Amino acid sequence: MDYALIESNDLDAGTGVVARGVRRTFGDVVAVDSMDLDVPPGRVTALVGPNGSGKTTLLLVLATLLAPDAGTVTVAGADPRTDPWEVRRRTGWMPDAFGTWETLTCREVLETVAAAYRLPRAGIRARVDELLELVHLADLADRPTQVLSRGQKQRLGLARALVHSPAVLLLDEPASGLDPRSRIELRGIVRDLATAGAAVLVSSHVLAELDTLADRAVFVSGGCTVSVRDLDVASAGPRTWTVRALDAGALERALDALGRVHGDPGVDGAVELELTGDDDAASLLSALVHDDVPVVSLRPSGGVLEQAYLSLTKERQ
Ligand SMILES: Nc1ncnc2c1ncn2[C@@H]1O[C@H](COP(=O)(O)OP(=O)(O)O)[C@@H](O)[C@H]1O
Ligand SMILES: [Mg+2]
């Protein structure tokens, strides 16, 4: 895939997004109670929380589309309340649902957005072509957007967010409706943007969607930030692993002899146990092989994000 258009940009996100004590109510509904959030440049930050936890409301505040009742926010160094145009100039916003001008074609949508951002007229055509290629919509460039599937609309929404080469990217549930291939491509695009220096925030209520997409996760619940985790596998700390051997009995005996606390074998003979990290996994595998246990696989159970989420709910019990 050709990401030249991303790499060639000078993405200066400044301090990215910094939000402190953000609150926003709608009548008696407290959508965002008190949220703190950092979205550093060069990294992909996930905003994770169940439906109704206030993710979209917070994103709308960051994107200058809602005023907060309290708290402070800076986006690429600018305050959305006092300097909304500067924030919009530096920020790409992808809403959860792609509201669009249904009769316009994909190309026309992107050209209209490019003109609204006052991109130099001479460069618009080429820029739009690049973006359509990037999100694999070149074949549908001249079709009205109303014929697009949900996943295709999501991809057009991503292209629309990227038109003006923003340094801060706010994506609300971008993976929802995407097929597996499009999701992998989304991950590639988002990763390249972060590598080029962009500050990327991606929300989702589906943990599995974010696992390989994000470097760090901010967990929210009931309108409040509840935890921030690094998702780097190596630094993820203790987590549950699954080990499976051809001979479940031999595996159990060996684990017991090694003094390893483990669960009961599942139907496939796989056993779960807590390991402290990659080094621990490597030394366990080496010991089992040394003991002639016919090990078939040793892998982390579930994703890093899922484990972080589970350990979080465990802590809160
Ligand atoms: N415009 C609105 N008017 C009234 N209530 C709203 C409005 N927008 C959001 N809410 C409420 O605020 C809460 C948080 O919503 P939202 O930010 O959309 O959560 P999430 O994106 O995490 O699902 C929900 O209870 C929702 O019903
Ligand atoms: Mg939402």
For 20-39, what is each residue's pLDDT tens digit? 999 999 999 999 999 999 99
Give me ligand 1 centre to Cα 118, in Å.
Answer: 33
The single-letter code of the amino acid at 121 is R
Q: Which atom of ligand 1 is least distant from the CA of 51? A: 23
* 22, 24, 25, 26, best to mutate for ligand 1 pocket (most atoms within 8 Å of CB): 26
CA distance 190 to 184: 10
Strand partners, 34: 224
Query: What is the rounded CA–CA span in Å between residue 257 and residue 186?
Result: 46
Distance in angstroms (rounded) separating the CA atoms of residues 250 and 270: 12
Residue 50 CA, closest ligand 1 atom number: 22
Residues 6 or more apart from 32 whose CB is under 8 A from it? 22, 23, 24, 54, 57, 58, 61, 68, 223
Which of the listed residues 32, 57, 61, 206 should we mutate to test ligand 1's pocket, taking the one with most ligand atoms within 8 A of CB?
57
pLDDT in tens, 216-241: 999 999 999 988 888 765 555 678 89
Q: Is the pLDDT of residue 5 over 60?
A: no
pLDDT at 7: 41
- Whose atoms come closest to the Cα of 32: which ligand? 1
pLDDT band for 2, please (50, 70, 90 cuts).
very low
Mean pLDDT of the 123-127 span: 93
What is the share, in percent, of the chain residues with pLDDT greater than 70? 90
Check residues 268 and 23 and name the one with the higher pLDDT. Answer: 23
Q: Which atom of ligand 1 is nearest to the CA of 32?
A: 14
Q: For residue 86, is pLDDT > 80?
A: yes
Rg over alpha carbons for the chain, rounded to the nearest Å, is 23
**Mean pLDDT, residues 172-180 taken together:** 88
Q: Cα(187) to centroid of ligand 2, in Å?
A: 20
> Measured between alpha carbons, how far is 32 from 256 in angstroms, rounded to an integer?
49
Q: Which residues contact 70 (CB under 8 A, 6 or more apart)?
A: 21, 22, 23
pLDDT band, very low/low/confident/very high, at 269 (cuts 50, 70, 90): confident
In angstroms, what is the span from residue 52 Cα to ligand 1's centroid? 6
Residues in the chain: 317
Distance, in Å, from the CA atom of 22 to the CA atom of 48, rounded to the nearest integer, reads: 16
Residues with CB under 6 A from ligand 1: 26, 29, 31, 49, 51-57
- Give the mean model confidence (pLDDT) for residues 10-21: 85
Which residue is it, tokens 């979209």? 56
Amino acid residing at 114: A
CA–CA distance, 222 with 31 (Å, rounded to integer): 8
Select from 29, 61, 171 the residue to mutate for testing ligand 1; criterion: most ligand atoms less than 8 Å from CB.
29
**52 Cα: distance to centroid of ligand 2 (angstroms):** 7
Q: Going by CA atoms, what residue is nearest to atom 26 of ligand 1?
A: 52
Q: Whose CA is nearest to atom 16 of ligand 1?
A: 54
What is the distance in A from the centroid of ligand 1 to the CA of 57?
Answer: 6
Please give all residues whose CB falls under 5 A of ion ligand 2, grouped by chain where several chains appear: 55-56
Residue 273: which H helix or E strand, with range?
strand 271-275
Extract the runs of DSSP E, i.e. beta strands, from 110-258. 168-172, 199-204, 216-221, 224-230, 239-245
d(CA 256, CA 274): 14
Nearest one of 69, 97, 232, 243 to 157, comparing CA atoms: 97
Centre of ligand 2 to C-alpha 186, Å, is 19
CA angle 151, 156, 160 (to 5 degrees): 145
Burial of 61 (0-12, 13-18, 19+ CB in 10 A): buried
Closest CA to 75 of 199, 190, 218: 199
Closest CA to 79 of 90, 87, 67: 87
Ligand 1 atom 18: the closest Cα is on which residue?
56
Domains of the chain in sequence order: 4-231 (3.40.50.300), 234-316 (3.30.70.100)
Ligand showing the shortest atom-to-Cα distance for residue 26 = 1
Q: Which atom of ligand 1 is nearest to the CA of 27?
A: 4
**What's the mean per-residue pLDDT of the chain?**
88
